[in-house]
A and B are shown apart, each in its own frame.
Chain A
Amino acid sequence: MSATETLEGYNFAYLDEQTKRMIRRAILKAVAVPGYQVPFGSREMPLPYGWGTGGIQITASVISADDTLKVIDQGADDTTNAVSIRRFFARTAGVDTTEKTEDASLIQTRHRIPERALKEGQILVYQVPIPEPLRWLEPRETETRKMHALEEYGIMHVKLYEDIARFGRIATAYDYPVLVNGRYLMRPSPIPKFDNPKMDNMPALQLFGAGREKRIYAVPPYTDVKSLDFDDHPFEVQKWDDCCALCGAEDSYLDEVVMDDKGRRMFVCSDTDYCEERRAQGHVGPLGTSPGTPQAAE
């Protein structure tokens, strides 16, 4: 889809060029020091803080007229917040938008990484609520900055140790801390830990924007991203007993859908584009119907 009419009285992609330059400088620094949180002069955006203002500012600063933009929230293209942000850029930048992961040059996301592997040349922009991985252990910014500078990350493992001592396993399900390029501890934003392995050595550029907290950080293409763990309690991702009820996928992150008040539920792909693509290829889950010729679920 394409929107050629842009918003009158505003610059391309809303932000003025000087602001974009400032943000691009912060992005360059972030790329140069992978995982390091670069403070930047976050602007007040016409969308509320906490709703993706950091991601939007990054997208606005790197987007150009020939980009194709995809926006997802919880993996889906048509959740209201994703729609709202996509419309914002359709209106202010007049760029083409898509729901196809493959066709997008720029993907802004909240809480998920698309299932389809990203490729070189693509940029993934994450919306970040709280950028500081040490925040729940140390509330003071002055202290956490010092801990990063001196690489004092032992306390993060203390937390993981406590999890194992209490629950027999590391009980962090999302926003699972990672070490980037062997140096900086980083919060991957609240993506499920299921997505963490996708960050490691990803061919695409990953940019993270926290608008309210005024920080930008990045993982350049092909950079090591290691999820913290212990040698004898290695990092592992969620698994489901079910497959996607619509497309039968067994390798995707599943959303639980409650079907009635008797506790009946089903599981479907959280990545709507992935699910649709599979169904278009003829894959059918236990509760789905194929758009083409009906086929048995595999």
Chain B
Amino acid sequence: MYVAVKGGEKAIENAHRLLAEERRGDRQVPELTIAQIKSQMTLAVDRVMTEGSLYDRDLAALAIKQARGDLMEAIFLLRAFRTTLPRFAMSEPIDTTNMKARRRISSTYKDLPGGQMLGPTFDYTHRLLDFSLMDDGNETQAEQDQNADPDADLPRVTTILNHEGLIEQERPDDEDAPVVDLTREPLDFPAGRDARLQNLARGDEGFLLSMGYSTQRGYGITHPFAGEIRMGEVEVEIVPEDLGFPVVIGEITVTECEMINQFKGSATQPPQFTRGYGLTFGHGERKAMAMALVDRAMRAKELGEEVVAPAQDEEFVLYHSDNVEASGFVQHLKLPHYVDFQGELEMVRNLRKEQIEQQQMLKAGE
């Protein structure tokens, strides 16, 4: 006799219990604290905040802890929390020109007003495992960058180019139109630049990196220069309805990248440089740069360039950039599909049966 399998409910409960145990790990080792993650896993926190599109270091750290260090899972947790939050106000655009920069580099000018500032970067480290970190309590003290003056005026490289009219003007299509909110409205095509940038900012770093990389290898080449990359703190302002003027509600860390791209001109536009833009929460330079490349690549149609490569195809890029969507749909293949599979089984069996019958009939006829 056969009894159909029951007990899905019990199985799920057991799975959750096992998961909690695995997360905690060896009980001889002290439990990881949110404060530790927040202050020592800062780049993981930054990535989770950016792709989770919620600036909250504590919650991001909590998500990382709960997700056992799986950053995509942590991003998903943060997104699912964010979606339930009430919307009190829209912030004013942040002013990155007035950033209190901790890092600021340009690859287009040797020196520029405000200077280059290396800041905390892996760039010139030798990637040698530092075995001294194996032991706890091996602290080093960093010195403040001698050249850095956090209050220095930092004009943008693109503004410098703009004085000569060598770079395109950057203006929204319609100043008064509300900015699209992709967490509230479905993506529509053709997508405006606001929707594209928002999608990319939330998009998966790995995906954008590969897409950006592909443009450099010739699949939709944009001849980019890293005009400027800056990282530091900016103020966030809102305009409360009953006040009517902006009020600072806090400070966030962001990384901004402006790529400058060659453009040979078209029927309506003179030869000039064009821009690609990238922005992340926290310190997310790799992502900001990749984002800027892909942003520029997707402007191909607008600039009259031939659309031939995946990175230039906005439907392709924007529909596949989100890792919460991608991870869910790829992993839904784990769910039972036996009803559909049964249909296919029956189909293949019948087709095979018919083929064998036909062959037998042919044989008999010979």
Contact = CB atoms under 8 A, between A and B. Distances in A.
B339 A253 contact: yes
Given A44-B83, A173-B346, A167 B340 contact: no
Contacts of A83: 8-9, 12
B177 interface: no
A43 B183 contact: yes
Nearest to B182: A41
Which DSSP category, helix, strand, loop or mixed, fits chain B's interface? helix
Given A140-B315, A214-B186, A44 B324 contact: yes
A80 B331 contact: no
Contacts of A121: none
Contacts of B345: 256
A109 to B, nearest CB: 11
Contacts of A45: 80, 83
B41 interface: no
A155 B331 CA distance: 31
Contacts of B11: 80
A9 to B, nearest CB: 9
B363 interface: no
Interface stretch (B92-100, B140-148, B187-195, B242-250): B187-195
A41 B328 contact: no
B338 A255 contact: yes
B89 interface: no
Interface in B199-229: none
B192 to A, nearest CB: 14
Contact of A75 (B186, B330, B339, B351): B339
A245 interface: yes
Given A50-B329, A83-B8, A171 B338 contact: no
A174 B340 contact: yes
B1 A288 contact: yes
What band does the interface of chain A fall in when counting residues whose beta carbon is under 8 Å from B?
A: 35 or more
Contacts, number: 146
Contact of B2 (A142, A168, A266): A266
Q: In this complex, which of A74, A140, A256, A288 has the most chain B Cβ atoms within 10 angstroms of its Cβ?
A: A74
Interface in A40-98: 40-46, 48-51, 53, 73-75, 78-84, 87
Interface string A251-284: 0011111010000001010101001000000000
Contacts of B354: 168
A173 B344 contact: yes
Contacts of A173: 340, 343-344, 346-347
A16 interface: yes
B149 interface: no
B110 interface: no
B84 A14 contact: yes
Contacts of B2: 245-246, 257, 259, 266, 268, 287-288
Contacts of A175: 340
A111 interface: yes
Contacts of A41: 183-186
Nearest to B340: A174
Interface in B317-336: 319, 324-325, 327-332, 335-336
Contacts of B7: 78
- Please provide the 8 A-B residue pairs with the shortest distance between their CB atoms, ordered closest to farther: A49-B328, A173-B343, A50-B332, A48-B328, A214-B186, A50-B329, A83-B8, A46-B80
